[in-house]
Structure 1
Amino acid sequence: METVLLVLAGWWWVAPAAAGAGAATYAGLTAKSRRARRLELDAARHEEAEAYRALMHARALVRTVRAEHLAVRARTGMLSSETLEAKRRLQLAKRAHKSAVLELRATRARVRAAAEQYSISSRTDPLPLQKVLAAHDAVTAQWLPYEVDAAKALEYPAMTDARHPATLAFLRAQREAQRLRPSTDERVSPQRFIEYRTAVRVLEAAFAEAERRHGEGVSRTGARRP
């Protein structure tokens, strides 16, 4: 009994240390999970910040171009070609400013939507990155039969022929999405998430357009499209 007590006395620190290590590990996993679940919201906030910077730039440009327009008008007159050109540049700058205002409003709406989605999400819901990866994989799964199914490849040969503009656009989008696809152990920043998500959306649209064009060609002619 005395031996047991001596052993326990010598190893009294093991349980607290193990508990502390377990707590640290759990805290790390929880933080990682929270970051992953918040990625959509962080991306929306990143887009909002970028849109705000773009608006500030557009506003400064309007002021600069307006000053140039007034200077040219004072120097050459209201109807001179230089004044008319300066006025055209001012109108373009104003349009760009208006677009920047609308884009900032749109990004703020996306932030609100992402915040609401984050607040109601649960641990069982797919993570934002998982959703984008699944969308990417879905396009790949739809595309593969055109490559490996002999019957489908014969029926729709244009879907694998890069000489067709729609197919070429899809293949380029496919390559770009694959280039931006993060690895499983990679910590994805909001900017990287936005770039990958955009690439996957472009890929989805390009694939749908390729299928529409080539599918229409087959149904319209009633024969295989060369």
Structure 2
Amino acid sequence: MEPILLIVSSWWWIAPAAAGAGAATYAGLTTRSRRARRLELDAARAEESRAYRELVAAKARVRTAHADMLATKSRTTAPPSQAAAARRELQEAKQLEKTASLELRASRSRVKAGYEQYRAATAQDPLPIDRLCAAHDAVNTRWLAYETDVDKALAYPQMTDPRHPATIVFLRAQREALAMRPTLRDRVTPQQFLEYRIAVRHLEASFAEAERQAGVPGAARPTTSAGATAAAGLTAAAAVLAEIADRLPALIARIPPPRTGEPPAGRVP
């Protein structure tokens, strides 16, 4: 009996230490899994914070450009070209502010979508980084088909020609996406996830453009958003109006004054 009591008195701390180590390991694994599942949400929040800072900087640029334009107007000796440059700078600053505002709204929508997706996700769903890596691998698999399939290589030689501009853009995007791909998926930060996602999206777009130029049936066509088209139209119209406003004083000055000795047109003396 005494040996048993001696062993118990000497090694009584093993059971609590083992329980504590097990609890710490379980908590670490659970926290890591939760962080990995909310990686896309954290990345969307980081993107929202960056978009907010860009909007603040754009608003400050608008105020600076407006102050410069007022200062130029206050100087009577300022040449017309300087006033025109100040107006153009103000229009560009306002356009950048509008773009930054739209980007902030889009990032907030992505935060809401990421939160809903995080709440609806289950333990069986793939992690966000795994979905992104799968999209990356899908593009590489489609491109390798042009390297390994003889029929495709003969039908679309442009897809494997490194001298073609669209193929060069795709190969550069492929190299960039490979450099951004994380090696340790369980230690990816939100900023790394954002950079890798941008690289993968650029890879998909450049591959679709390369297929389109090569004449592959069913290749995606590049689209221009209505918002970008409208913004470009507004910018062009603002530039035209600014040019007209600059030339208006010179045109008015060139109009000859009416002669006092002649009767008005349409009236007989």
Q: TM-score, normalised by structure 1?
A: 0.90
DSSP-derived class of the 2:182 partner: coil
For the Cα contact (< 8 Å) 1:180–1:195, is it kept in 2?
yes
DSSP-derived class of the 1:163 partner: coil
Q: Give the CA deviation at 1:17.
A: 0.6
Distance (whole Å) between structure 2 residues aligned to residue 74 and residue 185 of structure 1 = 59
Distance (whole Å) between structure 2 residues aligned to residue 185 and residue 87 of structure 1 = 49
Aligned to 1:223: none
Q: Give the CA deviation at 1:106.
A: 1.0
For the Cα contact (< 8 Å) 2:44–2:107, is it kept in 1?
yes
- Higher mean C-alpha displacement, 59-68 vs 138-147: 138-147
Question: Bigger radius of gyration, 1 or 2?
Answer: 2
Aligned to 1:194: 194
For the Cα contact (< 8 Å) 2:32–2:186, is it kept in 1?
no
Aligned to 2:18: 18
The Cα offsets for residues 69-104 of structure 1, whole Å up to 9 and x where unpaired, read as 001001037982221221111111111111111111
Letter in 2 for 1:197: R
Aligned to 1:54: 54
Aligned to 2:182: 182
Q: Give the CA deviation at 1:112.
A: 1.0
User: Going by fraction, where is helix more abundant, 1 or 2?
Assistant: 1
DSSP-derived class of the 1:76 partner: coil
For the Cα contact (< 8 Å) 2:44–2:111, is it kept in 1?
yes
Distance (whole Å) between structure 1 residues aligned to residue 133 and residue 204 of structure 2 = 12
Q: Give the CA deviation at 1:114.
A: 0.8
Q: Give the CA deviation at 1:4.
A: 2.9
Distance (whole Å) between structure 2 residues aligned to residue 185 and residue 130 of structure 1 = 8
Distance (whole Å) between structure 1 residues aligned to residue 27 and residue 2 of structure 2 = 38
DSSP-derived class of the 2:188 partner: coil
Distance (whole Å) between structure 1 residues aligned to residue 112 and residue 45 of structure 2 = 9
Q: Give the CA deviation at 1:145.
A: 1.9
Letter in 2 for 1:149: D
Distance (whole Å) between structure 2 residues aligned to residue 204 and residue 140 of structure 1 = 10
Alignment partner of 1:141 is 2:137: no
- TM-aligned CA distance change 1:151 to 1:163, over 3 Å: same
Aligned to 2:33: 33
Alignment partner of 1:90 is 2:96: no
Q: Give the CA deviation at 1:216.
A: 4.3
For the Cα contact (< 8 Å) 1:76–1:83, is it kept in 2?
no
- Higher mean C-alpha displacement, 197-206 vs 145-154: 145-154
For the Cα contact (< 8 Å) 1:76–1:82, is it kept in 2?
no
Distance (whole Å) between structure 2 residues aligned to residue 167 and residue 183 of structure 1 = 26
- TM-aligned CA distance change 1:29 to 1:216, over 3 Å: closer
Aligned to 1:209: 209
Q: Give the CA deviation at 1:128.
A: 0.7
Letter in 1 for 2:96: A
**Unaligned stretches of 5+ in structure 2?**
218-269
- Higher mean C-alpha displacement, 162-171 vs 128-137: 162-171
- Higher mean C-alpha displacement, 3-12 vs 98-107: 3-12
Distance (whole Å) between structure 2 residues aligned to residue 13 and residue 61 of structure 1 = 65
DSSP-derived class of the 1:145 partner: helix
For the Cα contact (< 8 Å) 1:77–1:83, is it kept in 2?
no
Letter in 1 for 2:56: M
Aligned length: 217
Aligned to 1:170: 170
Letter in 2 for 1:134: A
Letter in 2 for 1:187: R
- Higher mean C-alpha displacement, 159-168 vs 4-13: 4-13
Q: TM-score, normalised by structure 2?
A: 0.76
